A and B are shown apart, each in its own frame.
Chain A
């Protein structure tokens, strides 16, 4: 199985400041189309997850433009340009290139 490794696992941030989460896969996520099926999800306490980013860098509908994704191959990054209070929760990277699909361990974002 593809192992997804996130860092850091805990991220205290100051409101209005940037934040960055790294995700590394144990094998390349590039598929025949040339893209990588790398997604980012956000889960608030007590809620179902919500996808923010698909195929590395594409924002889902309604996702604020302060969220951005980048990377290629095995190394990916989620960036929040200016953290807002509603951004707290756990962020997961998830690959859908190889079966079984796999998630990272999650990064908990909290406000300092």
Chain B
């Protein structure tokens, strides 16, 4: 199970930190990701972090502004979002992606960037 938190209303240029708490599986064995979905739009993969935190990947639209991290001791993954823009408004999903094993998604947390 994955449970996201930290969403809310933030002003353009502001910052927000999303958290995702994992349970029910060996968290430290899996790559973890964040994806987002703007209102009425399709899915976009945002960032991924390797199981030990040694590799991180980002979509170009968030490079230099967002940072993914994890704490394996706390079974948690985070997304630090800075310099937020209105087009970052979306439901942000935490996901455990695996090429073969079940892909687990959270229910999502809404981030609204607006003045």
Which A residues have a C-beta under 8 Å from some C-beta of B?
1, 37, 39, 41, 43, 48-51, 54-55, 58, 60-61, 90, 92, 94, 96, 99-106
A-B contact pairs, 23 of them (CB 8 A): A37-B99, A39-B103, A41-B43, A48-B106, A48-B108, A49-B43, A49-B93, A50-B103, A55-B100, A58-B100, A60-B102, A61-B102, A90-B42, A92-B43, A96-B99, A99-B48, A100-B45, A100-B60, A102-B45, A103-B43, A103-B44, A104-B42, A106-B43
- Residues of B contacting A43 in the complex (Cβ-Cβ under 8 angstroms): 43
- Residues of B contacting A102 in the complex (Cβ-Cβ under 8 angstroms): 45
A6 to chain B, nearest CB (A): 9
Interface size counted on chain B using CB atoms at 8 A:
20
Question: Out of A50, A54, A92, A100, which one reaches B99, CB within 8 Å?
Answer: A54
Bound Cα distance from A34 to B108, whole angstroms: 34
Which B residues have a C-beta under 8 Å from some C-beta of A?
33, 42-45, 48, 57-60, 93, 97, 99-100, 102-103, 105-108
Contacting pair B43 A94 (CB below 8 A): yes
- Which of B43, B58, B106 has the most A CB atoms < 10 Å from its CB? B43
Contacting pair A106 B58 (CB below 8 A): no
Contacting pair A1 B99 (CB below 8 A): no
- Known A49-B105, A99-B57, A100-B59; judge A55-B45 contact (CB<8 A): no
Sorted nearest first, the 8 A-B pairs with minimum C-beta distance are: A48-B105, A101-B45, A51-B103, A100-B59, A106-B42, A99-B57, A103-B43, A105-B42
- Residues of B contacting A55 in the complex (Cβ-Cβ under 8 angstroms): 99-100
- Residues of B contacting A51 in the complex (Cβ-Cβ under 8 angstroms): 102-103
Bound Cα distance from A101 to B49, whole angstroms: 13
Known: A55-B99, A100-B57. 20 other contacts (CB 8 A): A1-B60, A41-B43, A41-B103, A43-B43, A48-B105, A48-B108, A49-B93, A49-B105, A50-B103, A50-B105, A90-B42, A96-B99, A99-B57, A100-B45, A100-B60, A101-B33, A103-B43, A103-B44, A103-B45, A104-B42
